[in-house]
Chains A and B, each alone.
Chain A
Amino acid sequence: MNTLITVSLLGIAAMLSEVFRFKKFIQTVFIAAVTGATGLAVLDWGTSYSYFRFMVLFDDYALAFSILFLVLTLIWLLLSQEYFCNENTRADYFALISFSLAGAIILSSFSDLSMFFIGIEILSVSAYVLAGSNRSDIRSAEAALKYFLPGAFSTGFLLFGMALIYGATGSFNLSNISLWIIANHSNLPVMVNAGVVFLITGLLFKIAAMPFHNWAPDVYDGSPTPVTAYMSTIIKAASFAAFYRLFVSCFSIMADWWTPLLVIAAAITMIGGNITAVYQNNLKRMLAYSSIAHSGYLLLAVAAINQLSKPAMLFYLAAYSVASLGMFTLVNRMGNEQQLDKLKGFAHDNPFYAALITLLTLSMAGIPPLAGFFGKYYVFLSSIRSDLIWPVIVAVIASLIGVYYYFRIVYNMYSKPAASAHVVSLSGFDKSAILITALLTLLLGIAPALIADII
């Protein structure tokens, strides 16, 4: 709870910095506050308190995800240094980031449907604005619009689903809903099933799972790269945290009924996302499709819904987000045209960082001994335990397709540069971002127990 308050106050402070003229220090304040909030979350570890008349519940699950969001934000700051260098918009951006972080934390800690909705809205509305924040680029404006319209549409689905659930159960509170469903398990009214379908549809939109993914590639491609990085890591992690929290605490008893829906969505997302990524020649778009494909694996963990899927999701999200941030650092440096060809000669100029990026790429492809492998492994394990055998086979095939395009990135980095080509160069902040993400990737791969079984 202290974490949430700190982050919310930070957002307000960022807005006020414009008025009270301390814009220059806002980055320092931001770093201090986010670090402090992380510390507060760590201090609360092991406790489980409910606030606002059971509207939010800060248990270990909420705290673990809050810490993940905050740490990722700190790493993300390294790669987005230039994004914040414009004095005029700096305070706004920091405020938006802080608010969306507050939304993310609410999404990991809600215990009431209304809180869930508020979290989704705070997170999304900030993200819509951030997507369009590069006002000089028409693609950014396009991205904002393309993000906003499906986003608003899917919010409608979510609301409709909540209304149906409320209509059937008479409560917004997750534990009350759960108790009601357990009590009436034998003859559930169709309203509940319809509500669950609407909720799933809305959430699949939010996490950009197929068949509701069509907005994602254009939005990821058009947004300024730091915002893309933010969306595909922290926002995605928050959406999944909410997805799992909602379904495990309300609808786990009727899992047999909705698991097939998620499994089908997961299967087509994994296969479709990976196959489409193979055909991309633009690194940013390739990562966008790979991000969609990763949603598929995560959906599998949600569908498995057993005691392994919670740590599986946390681990997978941490591994994927960390590696993604490193990759987006590179994309950010490639300027407006992120063709894979532009990477040629990169290894020759930056052998050390090329090796680290290779490490990150391999982690995303799921190769041991890196974090991404254990993420996938954990997800497969939890699915097999829930007897989802064929989805795991599909997932393994999808990972194989993934290996192909991830290897293309590595291959291009180590190829000889075309004559007179401009080779990507990294700034000091970029280097530290890549170094930190690569070290974390390696650390989580060698010692997965660090975060695997904390929740």
Chain B
Amino acid sequence: MNLTLLLIIPLLTAVGVLFCRNAQQVRWLSLAGAAVQFILVMALLFAFYAARSNGNTDAFLFSERCMWFAPLNIQFITGADGISVSMLLLTAAVVLAGVLVSWKEETMAKEFFFLLHLLAFGAYGFFISLDVFTLFFFLEIAVIPKYLLIGIWGSGRKEYSANKLALMLMGGSALVLIGMLGMYYQSGANTFDLIRLSEVHIPYATQLQFFPLLFLGFGVFTAIFPFHTWVPDGHSAAPTAGSMFLAGISMKLGGYGCLRVATYLMPDAAAYYAPYIIGLATIAIIYGAFATLMQTDLKYINAYSSVSHCGFVLLGIGMLNQTAITGAVMQMVSHGLMTALFFAVIGMIYQRTHTRMVRQMGGLLKAMPFIMTVFFIAGLTSLGLPGFSGFVAEMTVLMGAWQNPKTMYRIATILACASIVVTAVYILRATGQVAMGPLKQHDEPLNDARWYEKLAAFILIAGIVAIGVAPFWLNDLITPGAKIIMQKIVSLSR
């Protein structure tokens, strides 16, 4: 299985889109490209299982390397472990659903789909890179399309939101850049090769110096408190597919980076800074949940709840044990699918009612039963109903968190648990108001979902249910990856 294919297909699709004659061709080509990516990732998943069951215990499978820029020692190294494969699965599913949801995008369709595929290109590249430089490189590629997607196709305060998002994310990646350069010189290894770097022991002082830069830099992407402010504005101003990509893929770039680069390469510093990480994560969970209570715009509700849910990712990473880290990755996948579904369905509702304000809606269940059913499913996943992925992921994180006996960790865990109640309040309130009661939109033609919308919802729900009902396949995928990260923490900090 050649991982580079995952870069070539989105790139070819993106370039191909530019040569299309009309919107019809653009859509079908995009769909074909996204479908091929999805099939490739599925093939990768099975190849990965096959390799593992054949006894291949390398940390990273399908690894390939070539020199890209010799004078600065930059290599192009690809490889995947279970964590990357699960992230790739998430990306492929969200890309496919995102393309389907934007089926009727008519204004500058070419540019729109080009940017979507470019973003996907960046995300795939990020998840398969095993060289810190190329990792950073793809991270940056994934930022720019977001600015344009929000600035051009967005709604509301789009210029402000686009600038805020782009500048905060660029700020985050600038921190990553400095941390990365510091690691290059101060580790003594003079390399960006992640595998090499994980073998050398970076001096303790250096770790303490550069870990915060890397962790906060990636953390901005995953809405670490207090750098979460781009999330609500960015998500609410973005077009539907943009929000889906933003919450479903971009925020996961950060979590993955925190884990793969910061925690994996600097375990000592991770152990040192763990209480701070947990503190920030707990604040994000609680603050996000309560902030959501105050929101009346569906997109803001989901955006603030994303801050809360991503807090669980950071909480899992900060707990530094195998169960919690596995849970963090599961939460990334679960939240990615769930939030993409949520934004997709909010987009569908908005297209029909032309409002996102909860108070202006009501009784939509009768008018569009399919869309409302999807809305319920997304909501129930978000509040952690057993049978859906949200429950499994948050449960794993909390179980891992409970393994830490220290008082402060206990308090954080209990607070995080308690936030689920708040989540239930805002989700049930929003779904109830939107779906039940008398119909408030009388003058709008409220037709139910079209085939492409149904397909998009189906893909995401399939993922959510597959994890919710049978979590072991994802658990088996992630655990060996988490184990490798944990081994370094255990072996070095004792």
A: residues with CB less than 8 A from B are 311, 347-348, 351, 355, 358, 362, 367-369, 373, 377-378, 380-381, 384-385, 392-393, 396-397, 399-400, 403-404, 407, 410-411, 414-415, 448-449, 452-453
In the assembled complex, B297 has its CB within 8 A of some CB on chain A: no
- Asked if B368 is at the interface of the complex by the 8 Å CB criterion, the answer is no
Using known A-B contacts A404-B167, A407-B147, determine if residue A369 contacts B137 with beta carbons closer than 8 Å: yes
In the assembled complex, B141 has its CB within 8 A of some CB on chain A: yes
Tell me which of A355, A380, A407, A410 contacts B181 (CB under 8 A).
A380
A373 to B69, CA, bound (A): 14
Identify the closest chain B residue to A396 (Cβ).
Answer: B174
B40-94 at interface with A (beta carbon < 8 Å)? 69-72
Task: Return the 5 tightest CB-CB contacts between A and B, nearest first.
Answer: A453-B71, A396-B174, A368-B137, A414-B152, A368-B140
Which residues from chain A contact B108 at a C-beta distance below 8 Å?
A: 347-348, 351, 414
Beyond the given A367-B144, A414-B148, could you list 15 further A-B residue pairs with CB under 8 A, ordered by the A residue number?
A355-B111, A367-B140, A369-B141, A373-B140, A381-B181, A392-B181, A396-B174, A396-B178, A410-B151, A411-B159, A415-B152, A448-B69, A449-B70, A452-B72, A453-B71
Q: Is the pair B151, A411 in contact by a Cβ cutoff of 8 Å? A: yes
Could you list 19 examples of A-B contacts with CB < 8 Å?
A: A368-B136, A368-B137, A368-B141, A377-B72, A381-B181, A384-B181, A392-B181, A396-B174, A396-B177, A400-B167, A403-B166, A403-B170, A404-B163, A407-B163, A407-B166, A410-B147, A411-B152, A452-B72, A453-B70
B91-130: CB near A (< 8 Å → 1, else 0) gives 0000000000000000010110000000000000000000
CB contacts under 8 Å to A, within B141-199, are: 141, 143-144, 147-148, 151-152, 159, 162-163, 166-167, 170-171, 174, 177-178, 181-182, 185
**B151 partner residues in chain A, CB cutoff 8 A:** 407, 410-411, 414
Docked CA distance A393–B167 (Å) = 16
- Nearest to A373 among chain B residues (CB) is B140
Closest residue of B by beta carbon distance from A411: B151
Smallest Cβ distance from B212 to chain A, in angstroms? 14
CB of A412, distance to nearest CB on chain B (Å):
10
Min Cβ gap B103→A in Å is 21
Nearest chain B CB to A272 CB, angstrom units = 19
A residues in contact with B71, CB < 8 Å:
311, 449, 452-453
Shortest C-beta distance, B118 to chain A (Å), equals: 11
B residues lining the A interface (CB < 8 Å): 18, 69-72, 108, 110-111, 136-137, 140-141, 143-144, 147-148, 151-152, 159, 162-163, 166-167, 170-171, 174, 177-178, 181-182, 185
Contacts of A449 in B (CB 8 A): 69-71
- Which residue of B110, B147, B170, B178 contacts A393 across the interface (Cβ within 8 Å)? B178
Q: Provided the pairs A362-B144, A369-B137, A414-B148 are in contact, do residues A381 and B163 lie with their beta carbons within 8 angstroms?
A: no
A400 touches B174 (CB 8 A): yes
Measured between alpha carbons, how far is A252 from B69 in the docked complex, in Å?
A: 28
- Min Cβ gap B41→A in Å is 23
CB neighbours (8 Å) of A378 from chain B are 72
Q: Which residue of the partner chain, among B69, B70, B170, B181, contacts A400 with CB atoms under 8 Å?
A: B170
List of A residues within 8 angstroms of B69 by Cβ:
448-449, 452
Chain A residues with CB below 8 A from B182, complex form: 384
Residues of B within 8 A of A411 (CB): 151-152, 159, 162
User: Contact: B178 with A381, CB < 8 Å?
Assistant: no
Chain B residues with CB under 8 Å of A393's CB are 178
Contacts of B111 in A (CB 8 A): 347, 351, 355, 414
In the docked arrangement, what's the CA distance between A362 and B166, Å? 13
Give the residue name and chain of the A residue nearest to B182 (CB): A384
Q: How far is the CA of A392 from the CA of B178 in the complex (A)?
A: 8
Residues in B with CB closer than 8 Å to A351 are 108, 110-111
Chain A residue numbers with a CB within 8 Å of B110 are: 351
Residues of A within 8 A of B18 (CB): 355
A445 to chain B, nearest CB (A): 10
- CB pair A410 B148 closer than 8 Å: yes
The minimal Cβ–Cβ distance linking B125 to chain A, given in whole angstroms, is 10
- Most chain B CB within 10 A, of A396, A404, A452, is at A396
Tell me the bound Cα distance from A415 to B162 in angstroms: 13
List the B side residues contacting A453 at CB < 8 Å: 70-71
A403 to B, closest residue via Cβ = B170
Given contacts A367-B144, A396-B174, A411-B162, contact A403 B181 (CB under 8 A): no
Which chain A positions have C-beta within 8 A of B171? 400
CB proximity of B246 to chain A, nearest CB, Å: 17
B16 CB to closest chain A CB (Å) equals: 15
Q: Which residues of chain B are within 8 angstroms of A397 by Cβ–Cβ distance?
A: 174
> CA of A385 to CA of B190 in the docked complex: distance in angstroms?
11
**Which single member of A403, A414, A452 contacts B167 (CB below 8 Å)?**
A403
Q: Which residue of A lies closest to B140 (CB)?
A: A368
Bound complex: CA of A393 vs CA of B461, how far in Å? 45
Say how far A63's CB is from chain B's closest CB, in angstroms: 19
CB distance from A132 to the nearest CB of B (A): 39
Instruction: Report the bound CA distance from A404 to B167 in whole Å.
Output: 7
**Smallest beta-carbon distance B479→chain A, Å:** 34
